Amino acid sequence: MKRIDLLSELVLENQTKLLLLVIDGLGGLPGENGKTELEAASTPNLDKLASKGEVGLLQMVEPGITPGSGPGHLALFGYDPLDFSIGRGILEALGVGAQVAPQDVCVRGNFSTWGPDDVIVDRRAGRISSEKNKELIAFLSKNIEEIKGVKVKLYPGEEHRFVAVFSGEGLSEEVEDADPQKNGLPMRWAEPSSSRGSLMASVANEFIKRVRELLAEEKQANGCLLRGFSQAPHMPSLSQLYKINPVAIATYPMYKGIARLVGMEVVEADRGLEGLFEALSSQWDKYDFFYVHVKYSDSYGEDGNYDAKKEVLEKLDSLIPKVLELKPDVLVVTGDHSTPSQLKSHSWHPVPVLLVSPYVRHGNCSGFGERECAKGALGIMPAHYLMGLMLAHGLRLSKYGA
């Protein structure tokens, strides 16, 4: 039996509240002082939770594999990230705040400079400014709302980049890039890679022609290319799978987007850690599964700023008592991947996790840190098992077999 079906078959509904607090890029590596950011941070509240709960390390994909935010989050939500993947176009769309429905096709756009006979002179239109990009997108959005019954939504990005989301019946991602790949070559128009992609390819080419007409007077950005056609992966929603009513509390577009893909409601929160936890409190009565996403730990890790990452963790720790006031039945604190400030990037190192419920074998751990967690009662666990464990501690799974 497949694991994802196994849980669905056993799952029960009840009133327990499950809280998953994701500290982006939580895991780190020892700095010059011999301690990781988390180990060096003064986190008395998390330490206490670690000693009251069970701790371990989450292997997000498998040993040695560095996860992107997509696979990291899918694993935390119970999907094996090797069985489900989120395409590049989709992630870009989520990153610029696009709302993506299951059938939509997301595409990465480039403003580009076209010469005579549709030769692509500059695929990046001289890297126009992001402000200019915004203006052009606003103008195009007014003039292109629908093509062949397919709705078009455009989102500006940085410099020459934008995102297009196409919504309608019969669309498919099975379309080759509309992009000659090199400057100085004639335009290569979109072509379906299977018969399923023909509508999308013809809509894409019609879109590019309309952009050419509308921007004919522009010097640099007088046309566009479309690349990376992708649809949301076909994945059952969290409520279908686990009979939960989940909500995401996150401030960055990509995380809201991933949450929507797995069927979570998304509520707005003010930026800043206080804002997150205020939103959590205000939503507490309406849902039973809460995903809270803290971004800044990852951003500082990516910057290589050890001290700032450590300070975010300390600030977060000081807000933990607010979380505990809500009395979650199951509380998990973990990350979606490691971001050691030494590497200035995501890394493959497994991620500390702590789980608190009335049903834990507590006491193996004196503080919340990578090396304490390595000795913990949860062991080193594939991250996609976490959801089953949270449901179990919420007494939401019946027995397997008699």
The bridge status of strand 161-167 relative to strand 105-114 is: antiparallel
- CA separation for the pair 122, 113 (Å, rounded): 5
Q: How many chain residues touch a copy of itself (CB under 8 A)? A: 66
**Binders of a copy of itself among 331-390, rule CB under 8 A?**
340, 342-343, 345-349, 359-364, 370-371, 374-381, 385-390
d(CA 260, CA 248): 8
Q: What Rg value do the Cα atoms of the chain yield, rounded?
A: 23
Q: Three-state DSSP class for 81? A: coil
d(CA 241, CA 243): 6
Nearer Cβ to a copy of itself (116/358): 358
Asked if residue 331 lies in contact with residue 360, where contact means CB atoms within 8 angstroms, the answer is no
Binding pattern to a copy of itself, positions 26-55, x when CB under 8 A?
A: ---xx---x-x-------------------
399 binds a copy of itself per the rule CB under 8 A: yes
Closer residue to a copy of itself, CB minimum distance, 114 or 255: 255
Q: Is 12 in the site for a copy of itself (CB under 8 A)?
A: no
Token pair of 398 as six digits: 């019946």
3-class SS of residue 306:
helix
| Distance of closest approach, residue 221 Cβ to a copy of itself, in angstroms | 26
Residues 6+ apart with CB under 8 A from 392: none
Q: What's the min distance (Å) between Cβ of 364 and a copy of itself?
A: 6
Q: Identity (one letter) of the amino acid at 49?
A: L
The verdict on 99 binding a copy of itself (CB under 8 A) reads: no
Q: Given candidates 43, 69, 110, 251, which one binds a copy of itself under the rule CB under 8 A?
A: 69
- Alpha-carbon distance of 329 to 398, in angstroms, equals 17
* Cβ closest to a copy of itself, residue 243 vs residue 362: 362
Locate tokens 């059938």: which residue?
103
CB closer to a copy of itself, 66 vs 198: 66
Give the residues lining the site for a copy of itself (CB under 8 A).
1, 3, 6-7, 10, 29-30, 34, 36, 57, 61-71, 81-82, 85-86, 88, 91, 340, 342-343, 345-349, 359-364, 370-371, 374-381, 385-393, 397-402
